[in-house]
Amino acid sequence: MHKIIAANWKMYKDRTQAATTAGELAAVLPEILPAGREVIVFPPFTAIESVARVFDGKKGLAVGGQNFYPAPEGAFTGEISIDMLRDVGAQWVLAGHSERRHVFGESDELVARKAVFALSHGLKTMLCIGEKLEEREQGSLYAVLERQLMAFFEARPDGMAGETLPGRLAIAYEPVWAIGTGKVAGPGEVREAHGVTRALLERFVGDSGKKLPILYGGSVKPDNAGALIALDNVDGLLVGGASLEAQSFLQIIGA
Ligand code: PGA
């Protein structure tokens, strides 16, 4: 399976800063990006177009939106639609990032509806899942991942069969306790959670579940990226803080 290295810039960078960092990536990546690796950057909304311009036509580089509302258009003050994201060059979206779930209170049901909506409207979707510290300590890792994934797989309309998902759906496993905390999950914990995720994907969509990439996210840094990406059930990385500087993100991409 090819590997996806994604950057989540959260609420950082204006247009100029975003274009500068994207330019630093685009200047070298087309030459050094190993075959079969894909890089996706999720800038804030206002900078998507700037990054898309810089990445345009560059092999292996894509841009995405961090959030959207699951309706074609309408009276939804403050929200943004899938078509609007596509219009500024987004090819991907995130759904269910832990900050959306836990800071903004998005439910499993809303996240599932958003992921289904984005896929039905032609954007590739990275569905984020992950447990909180107390859930891990209570031994409910399996139950949490099952609940989050089941919400999505059960919300799919009839036309969205498992076979249609590889190539346009990626899963990002991000333990909430490791996001922005500097506490990276150890190799054993990552291997276990990815194993659980893979088994659940296969339960929901059979063999197609083997072909959906599972990324790890949570305090990925240049010095731990190599060990994480080397794990045989890690198909990519979703990087927050360490993706803001081109040099640090490039080290992670090359790890
Ligand atoms: P972090 O963020 O790398 O800063 O922990 C990861 C994420 O939120 O996707």
Is the shortest distance between the CB of 243 and ligand 1 below 6 Å?
Answer: no
Checking if the pLDDT of 185 tops 90, the result is no
Burial category of 78 from C-beta neighbours within 10 Å (exposed 0-12, middle 13-18, buried 19 and up): exposed
Query: What is the C-alpha to C-alpha distance for residues 55 and 32, in angstroms, rounded to an integer?
Result: 15
Checking if the pLDDT of 99 tops 90, the result is yes
Q: What's the pLDDT score for residue 214?
A: 98
Protein residue closest via CA to atom 6 of ligand 1: 240
Q: What's the pLDDT score for residue 36?
A: 85
Q: What's the pLDDT score for residue 84?
A: 98
Protein residue closest via CA to atom 9 of ligand 1: 240
Has 102 been annotated as catalytic?
A: no
Stated pTM of the model? 0.97
Q: What's the pLDDT score for residue 176?
A: 93
Is the shortest distance between the CB of 239 and ligand 1 below 6 Å?
Answer: yes
For range 3-8, the mean pLDDT: 98
Query: What is the C-alpha to C-alpha distance for residues 126 and 194, in angstroms, rounded to an integer?
Result: 15
Checking if the pLDDT of 160 tops 90, the result is yes
Q: What is the largest CA-CA distance in the chain?
A: 48
Protein residue closest via CA to atom 3 of ligand 1: 240
For range 222-228, the mean pLDDT: 96
Has 135 been annotated as catalytic?
A: no
Residue 238 CA to ligand 1 center (angstroms) comes to 7
Protein residue closest via CA to atom 7 of ligand 1: 240
Checking if the pLDDT of 183 tops 90, the result is no
Residue 217 CA to ligand 1 center (angstroms) comes to 6
Q: Above pLDDT 70, what percent of the chain?
A: 100
Q: What's 136's DSSP letter?
A: H
Q: What's the pLDDT score for residue 181?
A: 86
